[in-house]
């Protein structure tokens, strides 16, 4: 039986892995990514393809709609996966840059807008998206078929995430003294355009 992923793995093993064995061994000895990329789970986003990077260069944190939750008390109920990944990359690996990469046609932002930012019972997605609930108010209810409506909300959500990054004391401290650079980008999955987003 054909298995697309295992067939792909065979090609990887005989191609890239065989041709780059020394580089991969060197990379395995150290973990020194140059950038933390916080992006969406969306399958249409492939960071290493978009930015032409090699394994080991990007520390990628993926979640629904590339959100950064605010820094919360670790005693508070919940599992802080994104916060844990950030803490490891910033305080242990001392990665010098964070990029929040949002994108067009984001399903997470779309569901937030269509739910008007209201919590939906039993929905992990709406609970998660409530991190940027005010973004829903930026959508013009009459223009939900206009991509611009969603672009505006996607970019605003990136702004909130950039703001939330600064609520982590170990990020704010490094950003202030210049050890950490922070940027926001919006990627259009239809035409490949990349746009800078500020806070």
Cβ 106 to Zn ion shortest distance, Å: 3
- Site stretch for Zn ion (CB under 5 A), options 40-48, 68-76, 90-98, 174-182: 40-48
- Number of chain residues interacting with Zn ion (CB under 5 A): 4
Query: Which strand (E) or helix (H) includes residue 72?
Result: none
- Is 106 one of the binding residues for Zn ion (CB under 5 A)? yes
CB of 145 to Zn ion, least distance (A): 19
Length of the chain: 199
> Coil, strand or helix: which one is 191?
coil
Closer Cβ to Zn ion, 21 or 44, answer by number: 44
- Report the residue from 37, 40, 112, 171 that binds Zn ion according to the rule CB under 5 A: 40
Q: Shortest distance, CB of residue 156 to Zn ion, whole angstroms? A: 14
Closest CA to 89 of 68, 112, 116, 64: 68
Enter the DSSP assignment of 69.
P
Considering only residues 35, 37, 42, 131, which one is a binding residue for Zn ion as defined by CB under 5 A?
A: 42
Closer to Zn ion by Cβ: residue 40 or 71: 40
Q: What are residue 36's DSSP bridge partners?
A: 59, 98
Pick the closest to residue 152 from 107, 194, 197, 182 (CA basis): 197
**154 interacts with Zn ion by CB under 5 A:** no
Cβ atoms of 69 and 131 within 8 Å: the answer is: yes
Question: Closer to Zn ion at the Cβ: 98 or 106?
Answer: 106
Report how far apart, in Å, the C-alpha atoms of 163 and of each of 92, 107, 149 are: 22, 22, 22
Largest Cα separation within the chain, whole Å, is 57
Span interacting with Zn ion, options 73-81, 99-107, 117-125, 171-179, rule CB under 5 A? 99-107
Q: Pick the stretch among 8-16, 47-55, 65-73, 121-129 that binds Zn ion (CB under 5 A).
A: 65-73
Q: Which residues contact 54 (CB under 8 A, 6 or more apart)?
A: 23, 27, 48
Which residues of the shown chain bind Zn ion in the complex (CB under 5 A)?
40, 42, 65, 106
């Amino acid at each position: 039986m054909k298995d697309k992923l295992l067939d792909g793995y065979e090609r990887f093993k005989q191609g890239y892995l065989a041709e780059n064995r020394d580089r991969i061994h060197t990379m395995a000895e150290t973990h020194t990514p140059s950038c933390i990329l916080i992006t969406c789970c969306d399958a249409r986003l492939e960071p290493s393809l978009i930015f032409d990077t090699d394994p080991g260069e990007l520390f990628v944190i993926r979640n629904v709609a590339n959100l950064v939750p605010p820094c919360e008390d670790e005693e508070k109920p919940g599992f802080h996966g994104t916060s844990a990944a950030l803490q490891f990359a910033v305080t242990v690996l001392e990665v010098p840059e964070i990029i929040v990469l949002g994108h067009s046609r984001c399903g997470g932002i779309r569901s937030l807008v269509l739910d008007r930012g209201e919590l939906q019972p039993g929905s992990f997605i709406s609970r998660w998206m409530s991190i940027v609930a005010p973004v829903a108010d930026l959508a013009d209810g009459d223009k939900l078929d206009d991509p611009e409506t969603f672009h505006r909300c996607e970019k605003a959500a990136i702004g909130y995430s950039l703001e939330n990054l600064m609520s982590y004391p170990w990020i704010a401290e490094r950003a202030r003294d210049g050890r950490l650079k922070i940027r926001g980008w919006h990627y259009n999955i239809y035409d490949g355009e990349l746009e800078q987003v500020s806070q």
